[in-house]
Amino acid sequence: MNKNVAAEQLADGTVVSSHNIEIVCAACGYDLEEAELDADKCSDCGQDLGLKQSVSVQATSIPAYGEA
């Protein structure tokens, strides 16, 4: 799944850039649906489900990459 997180300013003044979180199966890279995150097994490869999360920061000065 891909989840967009909007930019925000934290209470301590830190600015968190807008970013995109992608969560896939650690074993096969299957793009998990949100409803599948709590499953015991990957619905694609059948392995015990481990989550692999990757975050890509979205900024106008950095070209988008890592898209499938």
In the region spanning residues 1 to 40, those forming contacts with Zn ion, defined by CB under 5 A, are: 25, 27-28, 30
What would the 3-class secondary structure string for the chain be? CEEEECCEECCCCCEECCEEEEEEECCCCCECCHHHCCCCECCCCCCECCEEEEEEECCCCCCCCCCC
- Minimum gap (Å) between residue 28 Cβ and Zn ion: 3
State which of positions 37-66 bind Zn ion (CB under 5 A).
42, 44-45
CB of 45 to Zn ion, least distance (A): 3
Binding site for Zn ion (CB under 5 A): 25, 27-28, 30, 42, 44-45
